[in-house]
Amino acid sequence: MVLARFLPRDEQFFDQFQESADNASEVTKALLDVVAHGPDRERNVHLLRDLEHRGDEITHRIFGALNSTFVTPLDRDDIRDLAVKLDDLVDDAEEAGKRLVLYRLKGENEAATLLARILHEQTLMLAKAMPLLANVSKHGGEIRRLVLETHRLENEADDTLNQALAVLYDGVTEVQDLISQMRWGEVCGLLEDATDRAEDVADVLEGIYFKNG
């Protein structure tokens, strides 16, 4: 529509995406503490739930704004996809933390901690990319760099999971230890799934870069 080019764009989406990405970073920071058996594990378990609810609220606000906005600063499908993928990332991260607590896993698992740290690093990359969306043509190179780094971290998570699963049951002789290792393996799988969701967000950012850069 030619008229749309001359109408002011609603810029609130950039602030909302920043809020959503920052929330995802807080989620993964709390998750890292839970997985690494930090001193605030119980507090961070509750914090994960609260942050997931906050993420849902942000997503609902983005959709509400999308439905009431005539001219959007980005393609409508991209706005919708970015909101959904960020929400999926938070949901998967929270699920990993919930499962760990549900299984009452004690101590620390090296692979799980590394996966949680990788996930947190990914969300930091994504949060850095959000303010750049307001001017993709100017910041396209930096957006692309952050996207590629998020992809690299996901590949690192794949390798970490595969290496962990290869030695998961080495030296295990007791039934209770076997059960514990099975559960740690499941948690590691959920953490790796969350890194996939972060990569999904990066894929949307990459699409925005190619369309608007």
* pLDDT confidence of residue 172: 84
* pLDDT confidence of residue 45: 86
Question: Does residue 104 lie within any of the structural domains?
Answer: yes
Question: Does residue 5 lie within any of the structural domains?
Answer: no
Binning pLDDT at 50, 70 and 90, where does residue 159 land? very high
Question: Does residue 117 lie within any of the structural domains?
Answer: yes
Of all residues in the chain, the percent with pLDDT exceeding 90 is 81
Question: Does residue 4 lie within any of the structural domains?
Answer: no
Helices (H), 36-135: 41-68, 76-102, 110-129
- Strand, coil or helix: 107: coil
* 3-state SS, one letter per residue, for 164-181: HHHCCCCCCCCHHHHHHH
- Which residues are CB-contacts of 41 (< 8 A; sequence separation ≥ 6)? 33, 34
Convert the pLDDT of each residue in 19-51 to its tens digit.
Answer: 999 999 999 999 999 999 767 777 888 899 999
Question: Does residue 173 lie within any of the structural domains?
Answer: yes
């998750």: which residue's tokens?
31
Mean pLDDT of 4-15: 63
Tell me which amino acid residue 1 is. Answer: M
State how many domains the chain has: 1
């997931």: which residue's tokens?
52
DSSP-assigned letter for residue 168: T
Provide the CATH number for the domain around residue 65: 1.20.58.220
Question: Does residue 88 lie within any of the structural domains?
Answer: yes
Question: Does residue 129 lie within any of the structural domains?
Answer: yes
Q: Are 79 and 66 spatial neighbours (Cβ–Cβ below 8 Å)? A: yes
Question: Does residue 1 lie within any of the structural domains?
Answer: no
pTM over 0.85: yes
Is pLDDT at 2 greater than 90 in this prediction? no
Is pLDDT at 3 greater than 50 in this prediction? no
State the residue range of the domain holding 144. Answer: 11-212
Is pLDDT at 9 greater than 80 in this prediction? no
